[in-house]
Structure 1
Amino acid sequence: MHLTLPTWLTLARIAMVPVFVAAFFLPVESANVICTALFAAAAITDWLDGWLARRLGQTSDFGAFLDPVADKLMVAAALVLLVEADPTPWIGVPAVVIIGREIAISALREWMAQIGSRATVAVSAVGKVKTALQMLALLLLLYHEPLWGLPTRTLGIVALVIAAVLTLWSMLVYLAAAWRVLNK
């Protein structure tokens, strides 16, 4: 199998996960800045590898499989670390909702692919908004220090809770689409 530039970027994102986790536990004051930068790099790389794959005509089944895996690994790692650092319901409950939804929708997509209806559970507009808000929330929570007078932790929690609500909404959209196919 020939690995394309977009696939290499996705693989690099996966390789960043243990680096990100290690950086989170660094005993230095700037650990939050390092983690935030690594997470931001992963988010940018996620957008870039998809854009490049489409632009260069280098989409592949392997890349389509690997890209969401890379996303879910980084997001799950960030959520678990944030819950460990700040075990409050405002972070813990959205973390469980987001990780649980990702597991459920991944299983649903796999099942729908097996019955030939994978397109039924393609990414929706709500899912894209949820993802953008989730990334913003995680960046704010990872940084967690006031920035230009803004309370990043508070803003991050609000964004994370809204992202969790959108997560449930997008899951219902996927389940409704799958239900229509299954009831034919």
Structure 2
Amino acid sequence: MRINLPTWLTLFRVLLLPVMVVVFYLPFRWSNLGAAAVFVIAGFTDWLDGYLARRMNLTSAFGAFLDPVADKLMVAVTLFLLVQSHPGGWQGVLLAVTASVIVGREISVSALREWMAQIGARSKVKVAFLGKLKTLAQMVALVVLLVQHDTESLASYNIGEALLVLAGILTIWSGLDYLRAAWPSLRGDSDDVKKSEKKSVQSG
């Protein structure tokens, strides 16, 4: 298998995750900014690998699989770091609940997309504008919280916290939207389930 440039960028994004974790825990005053900078670089590679894949027609099956995995790992690891750094207080509880909602939604929607792909109906749960808006609010919030995670009294931290809660609300909304689109197939109101069972029998 030959790995193209967009896929190398995606792999680089995955490799940045342990770097961000290490920088986050460094006992230096600049560790906050350092961890946020690593996160921003990872986010930039996310945009860049997609742009190059479309612009240069460098798509691949491995890249298509790895890209969403890298995105979800980046968000999940960052949320875990932030939750761990706020073990108590109502702000810590709010952060933990919001993080649980976001991670839980990502797992659920990924499972839903995989199942819909198996029955040939993945297009019904493709990324919509609401999902993109959620991602934008989420990314901005995580950058702000990484920078200010140990200074909860600052107004900028409260802005980041509010944006993350907004992202959590949009996460639930978009997740329900995906579920609504897939519901006929989940209920078995179409031939999708029969096709899926037939494929399973044939492959077995």
What is the distance in 2 between the residues matched to 1:131 and 1:32?
22
Partner of 2:95: 91
How far the C-alpha of 1:181 sits from its partner, in A, is: 3.3
Q: CA RMSD in A?
A: 1.4
Distance 1:64 1:129 in 2: 21
| Rounded Cα–Cα distance in structure 1 between residues aligned with 2:8 and 2:60 | 12
Which residue, out of 158, 178, 203, partners 1:174?
Answer: 178
Q: Which residue of 2 aligns with 1:129?
A: 133
Aligned to 2:117: 113
Aligned to 1:32: 32
CA distance in 1: counterparts of 2:42 and 2:22, whole angstroms: 15
Q: Deviations over 1:33-52 (max 9, x none)?
A: 10000000011110111011
Partners of 2:155 and 2:184 in 1: CA distance: 44
Q: Which residue of 2 aligns with 1:158?
A: 162
Matched residues in 2 for 1:119 and 1:62: separation? 19
Counterpart in 1 of 2:108?
104
1:143 aligned residue (147, 158, 162) = 147
1:19 corresponds to: 19
Q: Which whole-Å deviations, capped at 9, do the CAs of 1:133-179 have from their partners, x for residues lacking one?
A: 1000000000017xxxx722101000000000000001011101111
Name the CA distance, whole Å, in 2 between partners of 1:108 and 1:120. 11
Gaps of 5+ in 2: 191-204
User: Percent of pairs identical after alignment?
Assistant: 55
How many residue pairs match? The answer is 181
Cα separation, 2, equivalents of 1:117 and 1:86 = 41
1:117 CA displacement: 1.0
Matched-pair contact (CA < 8 Å) for 1:130–1:167: yes
Shift of 1:114: 1.0
Q: Distance in 1 between matches of 2:23 and 2:123?
A: 38
Alignment deviations for residues 44-98 of structure 1 (CA, whole Å, 9 cap, x no partner):
1101110110001011221111101001111000000000011312211110000
- Structure label with greater radius of gyration: 2
8 Å contact from structure 1 (residues 143, 152) kept in 2: no
**Equivalence for 1:74:** 74
Q: Which amino acid aligns with 2:9?
A: L
Matched residue of 1:28: which SS? coil
Runs of 4+ in 1 over 4 A off after TM superposition: none
Q: Which residue number corresponds to residue 44 of structure 1?
A: 44
